[in-house]
Structure 1
Amino acid sequence: MTFEKMIESMTPEVYQSLRRAVELGKWPNGERLSQEQRETSLRAVIAYEHTHKVAENERVGYIDRTRPDGQQHGVDPLQPQTLKILSDG
């Protein structure tokens, strides 16, 4: 079975279990994930989210950039932002 086929056939329960394992760094039985297991599991979680169209705000690594007033902080984080320096004088 290829990686892509595995992702397509992955159930939501398996996805949630892998996601939780990556977040905690350990399997449900308490055993720690090796670095390789963590990387592979994270890759599978990201691929699942992309393949199954998981909402952006529910994806691993999502950062909410909404201010309390509803506006967005840094709409495009790759674009430069203007910095204003205010002086006391």
Structure 2
Amino acid sequence: MNFEKMIEAMTPEVYQSLKRAVELGKWPNGERLTQEQRETSLRAVIAYEHARNMPEADRVGFIDRTKADGSKHGSDPFAADTIKILTEH
């Protein structure tokens, strides 16, 4: 089974288990994840969230930048920057 088919077949319970294992760095039985297992599990969690079109706020790594008044902290690092080019005449 390839990675994409595995993600398609993944149940919400398996997703939650993988997500928890990545968070804690160990499997439910207490055995520590190797670096490779952690990377692969995190990749699977992210792919699952993307495949299920989960809301951004529910995804791994989401940082809520909303202040109490509704405005945002900082700026969007992926937003396009406007560049003003000045030339001398």
Task: Give the length in aligned residue pairs.
Answer: 81
TM-score by length of 1: 0.84
In the TM superposition, residue 70 of structure 1 has moved relative to its aligned partner by: 1.0
Q: Match of 2:73?
A: 73
TM-score by length of 2: 0.84
Partner AA of 1:28 in structure 2: P
The alignment partner of 1:37 has SS state of helix
Are 1:11 and 2:41 matched, yes or no? Answer: no
Unaligned runs of 5+ in 1: 81-89
Unaligned runs of 5+ in 2: 81-89
The alignment partner of 1:8 has SS state of helix
**Runs of 4 or more consecutive aligned structure 1 residues displaced over 4 Å after TM superposition:** none
* Partner deviation per Cα, 1:31-70 (whole Å, 9 max, x = no partner): 1000000000000000000001111101100101001111
Partner AA of 1:11 in structure 2: T
- Aligned partners of 2:59, 2:42: CA distance in 1, in Å? 11
State, as a whole percentage, how many aligned pairs show the same letter: 75
